[in-house]
């Protein structure tokens, strides 16, 4: 999944449920943080084995210092939304480094239109497992990402109007 989708889909959900606040804007960078593992330790930031303990410490510290969880919750939301979106996009190595096998959902449904018939194949999503493998090519932007950005900006513009 591309950067724009990872940034704007979580923002759209926060706007939709009325929880979007300006002070959360810098935290949206956490929604792209997992992809930085592609630069050094592939898989390490996409794993709940390595990231959940870090967020548990964040929750603990915020509770001790601020007596609440607001920033921890929003930070976790942005970060883990990335893993969820990657899962929906077909692959996330949730248990790395314990396992190099990742999991995801693929949507293989296809419609075939013939001269006198229409058929649908593979209508149901499929849970897939595959091995974590390095790549030298990653999607930076996509049409869906740009559409997500435009939709979010429209939401903001219509709210102010």
The domain in which residue 86 lies consists of 3-102+133-160
- Is there a domain that residue 111 lies in? no
pLDDT single digits (tens) 17-33: 999 999 999 999 999 99
Residue 151 placed within a domain: yes
Q: Would you state the pLDDT for residue 75? A: 97
Task: State residue 159's pLDDT score.
Answer: 87
Cβ neighbours, 10 Å, residue 153: 12
Task: Please report whether residue 145 resides in a domain.
Answer: yes
Residue 107 lies in a domain: no
Q: Is residue 153 assigned to a domain?
A: yes
Per the domain annotation, does 112 fall within a domain? no
- Establish if 121 belongs to a structural domain: no
- What Å distances lie between residue 30 and 75, 101, 103, CA to CA? 7, 24, 21
Residues 6 or more apart from 25 whose CB is under 8 A from it? none
Cα angle, residue 1 at apex, residues 126 and 16 outer, rounded to 5°: 90
* Residue 152 in domain: yes
pTM of the model: 0.92
State how many domains the chain has.
Answer: 1
Predicted pLDDT of residue 151: 97
Residue ranges for the chain with pLDDT beneath 50: none
* Residue 161 pLDDT: 62
């Amino acid at each position: 999944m591309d950067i724009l989708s990872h940034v704007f889909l979580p923002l759209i959900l926060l706007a939709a449920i009325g929880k979007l606040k300006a002070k959360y804007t810098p935290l949206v960078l956490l929604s792209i943080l997992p992809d930085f593992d592609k630069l050094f330790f592939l898989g390490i930031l996409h794993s709940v084995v390595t990231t959940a303990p870090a967020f548990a410490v964040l929750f603990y510290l915020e509770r001790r210092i601020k007596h609440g969880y607001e920033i921890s919750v929003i930070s976790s939301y942005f970060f883990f939304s990335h893993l969820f979106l990657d899962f929906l996009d077909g692959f996330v190595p949730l248990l790395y480094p314990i396992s190099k096998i990742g999991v995801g959902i693929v949507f293989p449904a296809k419609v075939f239109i013939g001269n006198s018939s229409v058929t649908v194949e593979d209508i149901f999503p499929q849970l897939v497992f595959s091995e974590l493998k390095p790549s030298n090519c990653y999607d930076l932007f996509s049409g869906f990402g740009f559409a997500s950005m435009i939709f979010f900006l429209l939401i903001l513009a219509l709210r102010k109007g």
